[in-house]
């Protein structure tokens, strides 16, 4: 099963992708995570991506498409995968289609998680992540047991640089301009699933799985 997650930054793509990956035993491929890992390892790709990420802009397509094509050709993707944060532009979607077409494959589901902008801004302001293990938290909806400390590894909880209010506004702008057109793109292919992202993560997951298995 090849699934892609659509939706604004902070809509819950990553949360649902993690849950679906566990439920179906297929990998979650997050381009944002790949860039952040490269950044922390100081690779050339990480350095190139950093300027764009810090500004809330998209990393250029040519730095993303080959990376994803390479990742989905690996053995653990044979039974399917969940793309979380890719494609984010029509050009990226077309590039993915072209790669899949070579082996007669296609995207099975495009899951679009819808959340109004105002709710996104409030969500992102409270988002925290463990600096050590990457576990996500939220100061209101998913607080750690001890303020600022990761429940799992004791690491310090940080705000992602691109979750700062002015960067979030920019990321939403970029989403509406460059990524929202993907909704019509996948609707036209007949594989779009629209999910209300304001419901609880459990309810959203149950809804998505029921539709995937229908
Ligand atoms: P995310 O964690 O998915 O919100 O991604 C964080 C940042 O990584 C984004 O704001 C972009 O700068 C960059 N990024 C992640 N995925 C892509 C993509 N498919 N195309 C371009 N830039 C991306």
Residues in CB range of 173: below 8 A, 6 or more apart: none
Q: What is the pLDDT of residue 165?
A: 86
Q: For the residues 4-17, what does the mean pLDDT come to?
A: 95
Tell me whether strands 192-196 and 28-30 are parallel, antiparallel or unpaired: unpaired
Any idea of the CA torsion for 196, 199, 205, 209, to the nearest 10 degrees? -50
For helices 201-212 and 13-24, the axis angle rounded to 10 degrees is 50
Q: What is the pLDDT of residue 148?
A: 96
Q: What is the pLDDT of residue 27?
A: 98
Among 2, 13, 36, 128, which one carries the catalytic annotation?
13
Q: What is the pLDDT of residue 161?
A: 85
Q: For the residues 19-48, what does the mean pLDDT come to?
A: 95
Chain position carrying tokens 């100081």: 42
Q: What whole-number percentage of the chain has pLDDT above 70?
A: 100
Residue in 6, 11, 14, 35 to alter for ligand 1 test, most ligand atoms within 8 A of Cβ: 35
Kindly tell me if the per-residue pLDDT of 31 is higher than 90.
Answer: yes
Output the CA 32–ligand 1 centroid distance in Å: 5
How would residue 208 be classed by pLDDT, with cut points 50, 70 and 90?
A: very high
Q: What is the pLDDT of residue 33?
A: 92
Output the CA 151–ligand 1 centroid distance in Å: 27
Q: What is the pLDDT of residue 206?
A: 98
Output the CA 85–ligand 1 centroid distance in Å: 6
Nearest to 172 by CA among 56, 61, 86: 56
For residue range 118-160, list pLDDT tens digits in order: 999 988 889 999 999 988 899 988 899 999 999 999 999 999 8
Rounded to an integer, what distance in angstroms lies between the CA atom of residue 83 and that of residue 27? 9
Q: What is the pLDDT of residue 141?
A: 85
Q: For the residues 81-99, what does the mean pLDDT come to?
A: 97
Among 19, 36, 127, 128, which one carries the catalytic annotation?
127
Strand locations in 119-205 (E): 127-130, 136-138, 157-158, 192-196
Supply the pTM of this predicted model: 0.89
For residue range 92-119, list pLDDT tens digits in order: 999 999 999 999 999 999 999 999 999 9
Residue in 8, 88, 179 to alter for ligand 1 test, most ligand atoms within 8 A of Cβ: 88
Nearest to 14 by CA among 153, 157, 111, 140: 111
Kindly tell me if the per-residue pLDDT of 174 is higher than 90.
Answer: yes
CB atoms within 10 A of CB 86: 23
Among 48, 50, 135, 160, which one carries the catalytic annotation?
160
């Amino acid at each position: 099963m090849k699934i892609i997650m659509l939706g604004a930054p902070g809509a819950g793509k990553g949360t649902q992708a993690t849950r679906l990956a566990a439920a179906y035993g297929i990998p979650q491929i997050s381009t944002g995570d790949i860039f952040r890992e490269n950044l922390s390892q100081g690779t050339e790709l990480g350095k190139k991506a950093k300027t764009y990420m810090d500004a809330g802009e998209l990393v250029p397509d040519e730095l993303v498409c080959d990376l994803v094509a390479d990742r989905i050709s690996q053995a653990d993707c044979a039974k399917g995968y969940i793309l979380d944060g890719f494609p984010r532009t029509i050009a990226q979607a077309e590039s993915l289609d072209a790669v899949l077409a070579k082996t007669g494959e296609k995207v099975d589901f495009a899951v679009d998680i819808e959340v109004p902008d105002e709710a996104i801004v409030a969500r992102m302001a409270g988002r925290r992540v463990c600096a050590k293990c990457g576990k996500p938290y939220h100061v209101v909806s998913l607080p750690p047991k001890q303020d600022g400390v990761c429940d799992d590894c004791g690491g310090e909880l940080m705000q992602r640089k691109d979750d700062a209010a002015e960067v979030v506004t920019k990321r939403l702008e970029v989403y509406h301009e460059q990524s929202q057109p993907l909704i019509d793109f996948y609707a036209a292919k007949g594989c779009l699933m629209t999910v209300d992202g304001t419901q609880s993560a459990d309810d959203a997951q149950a809804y998505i799985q029921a539709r995937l298995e229908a």
